[in-house]
Amino acid sequence: MPAAHTALIIGGGIAGPVAATALTMAGIDATIYEARPADPASASGIGGSLALEPNGLSALRIVGADHAVRDAAIPITRSIMSIASKPGREVPAPQGLEPRQLIDRGALHRILRDRAEHVGVRIQHGKKLIRVDEAPDGVTAHFADGSRASADVLVGADGVHSIVRRLIDSNAPSARYLGLLGFEGLADDAADTAALEPGTMTFAFGRRAYYLYWKRPDGRIGWGANLPSSPYLRLKEARAVPADQWLHTLRAAYTDDVPGARLAAETKSETLQAVGALHIMPPVPHWHRGRMVLVGDAVHAPSNSTGQGASLAMESAIQLARCMRDLPDVPSAFDAYERLRRPRVETIAARGAKIGRAKAPGPIAQRMMRLLLPVMFKTMNLEKTMAVEQRYTIDWDSPVEHELNAEISGETVS
């Protein structure tokens, strides 16, 4: 028998629908409460693209959403790193893994929510959690519209600014702003990028700011900018600034970069969107308390340099459901979940913090990077670094006790 019968999932982004689907597969009745309204304009306006790593695809396979995601995504088969507009170098990748998939965030949300509804999950929109009442045998969530809902457990999948994190521990750390605002735009195929192959993504360290770009199936170039900005702007605030004004700022930031200057110059304001400030979550001391638990960015948001935020969120959602399925009570399920997940997500977050620091190198550091990169790529132990992250799979069908016992006896766990 599962550790609980019913679950309230707060947040219908990425971790929320995956957790709800996996909990339903584990025999637990799950309902999602999402703060955003249901109207399609708001869903499609979420904006931006997300790259999912092979481990994220592997998590999606468990909840039956991997095919739909691949169908809607662009496979990225090759990555290039370029510093100060010099010809880029191919980034080595572990062998035998499927390519990362680049997908529109709104499309991913729709696929994950459709999948959750398909297995019987109910999704309620316009439900912003503001407070929780706790009892020994359950929780009651209170929403901003005056409604409430009760269940055996509450799962906080409410992102980096999680309210559930603070309800679990009022002293919990807040997400740390990295000083970068994200933008995504579309440029017509410019001379500088004419030779770009579809499926190649270039990560470029420009003179003043980092950016990345790729060729889309329609021939245009998609590009993402990480603009240094000391005032912190929430997504709503960034979107309140006219796109023309942002384009002006971006053109100045990338004016000395190839092809950054052309990409910014050829982007029309109607294709430019702010996609959110970049954050990381410092380690969270308490992942759960009583009948409340955290998943996804609410508890472990690594730097976006890792490319792992969404993939880790999905893995955690599935491991939580597996622990709830196999362990006899809520405290042991939540403890086991944290034990299985914390080391992995904190190791990846630590790697991301190191890369994040190198994102805006000065001219001397850029020269050093150019010199060191070939050596680094040659001597890098791919199996110990990238492959550990990307080959990870969850053995959904095997009882979680096996994995916990293997961990205690010191055996390597997948």
Ligand X SMILES: Cc1cc2nc3c(=O)[nH]c(=O)nc-3n(C[C@H](O)[C@H](O)[C@H](O)COP(=O)(O)OP(=O)(O)OC[C@H]3O[C@@H](n4cnc5c(N)ncnc54)[C@H](O)[C@@H]3O)c2cc1C
Q: Whose Cβ is closer to ligand X: residue 83's or residue 310's? A: 310
Q: For the window 63-102, what string marks contact with ligand X as x by the rule CB under 6 A?
A: ----------------------------------------
Q: By rule CB under 6 A, what count of residues binds ligand X?
A: 36
- Pick from 157, 167, 294, 327 the residue near ligand X by CB under 6 A: 157
- Range list of H helices, 26-134: 40-44, 54-62, 66-72, 105-118
Q: Is 260 in the site for ligand X (CB under 6 A)?
A: no
Least Å from the CB of residue 375 to ligand X = 27
Look at the block and give the residue holding tokens 């491991």: 319
Q: Is position 51 an interface residue for ligand X (rule: CB under 6 A)?
A: yes
Neighbours of 43 (CB within 10 A): 18
DSSP class of residue 297? Answer: G
> Rounded to the nearest 10 degrees, what angle do helices 309-326 and 400-408 cross at?
100
Q: Is 50 in the site for ligand X (CB under 6 A)?
A: yes
Q: Should residue 158 be labelled a site residue for ligand X when binding is judged by CB under 6 A?
A: yes
**Distance in Å, CB of 365 to ligand X, minimum:** 23
DSSP state of 282: P
**Residues 6+ positions from 144 with CB-CB distance below 8 Å:** 35, 127, 128, 129, 130
Axis-axis angle for helices 105-118, 15-25 (nearest 10)? 20
In the complex, minimum distance from the CB of residue 268 to ligand X, in angstroms, rounded to a whole number: 20
Out of 7, 9, 31, 33, the only residue in the binding site for ligand X (CB under 6 A) is 33
Quote the least distance from Cβ 10 to ligand X, whole Å: 5
Nearest to 53 by CA among 414, 383, 389: 389
- Among the listed ranges 244-252, 270-278, 320-328, 405-413, the one in contact with ligand X (CB under 6 A) is 270-278
Q: Which is nearer to ligand X, 66 or 297 (CB)?
A: 297
| In the complex, least distance from residue 140 CB atom to ligand X, rounded to whole angstroms | 14
Element holding 338 (H helix, E strand): helix 330-357
Q: Which residues are within 8 A (CB) of 68 and not within 5 positions of it... i.e. 6 or more apart?
A: 111, 114, 115
Q: Are 129 and 35 in contact (CB under 8 A)?
A: yes
Report the candidate in 23, 110, 12 with the shortest Cα–Cα distance to residue 323. 23
Does 12 bind ligand X (CB under 6 A)? Our answer is yes
Query: Among residues 25 and 154, whose Cβ is nearest to ligand X?
Result: 154
How far is residue 297's CA from residue 318's CA, in Å, rounded to a whole number? 14
Residue 232: count other Cβ atoms within 10 Å of its Cβ. Answer: 12
Which one of 259, 296, 352, 356 is in contact with ligand X (CB under 6 A)? Answer: 296
**Strand segments (E) across 218-364:** 221-228, 273-280, 288-289, 292-294
Would you mind telling me the total number of residues written for the chain in this entry?
A: 414
Which of the ranges 203-211, 293-301, 344-352, 355-363 carries the binding residues for ligand X, by CB under 6 A? Answer: 293-301
What six digits make up the tokens of 397?
A: 């069908």
Told to check if 13 binds ligand X by CB under 6 A, we report yes
**Exactly one of 54, 138, 182, 259 binds ligand X (CB under 6 A); which one?**
182
Binding mask 306-325 for ligand X (x = CB under 6 A): -xxxxx-x------------
Q: Of 104 and 326, which has the nearer Cβ to ligand X?
A: 104
Q: Which is nearer to ligand X, 177 or 377 (CB)?
A: 177
- Judged by CB under 6 A, the residue of 10, 28, 62, 155 near ligand X is 10
Do 140 and 291 form a contact (C-beta atoms < 8 A)?
Answer: no
Asked whether position 185 contacts ligand X by CB under 6 A, the answer is no
Chain residues that interact with ligand X, rule: CB under 6 A = 10-16, 33-36, 48, 50-51, 127-129, 157-159, 163, 182, 275-276, 278, 296-298, 301, 304, 307-311, 313
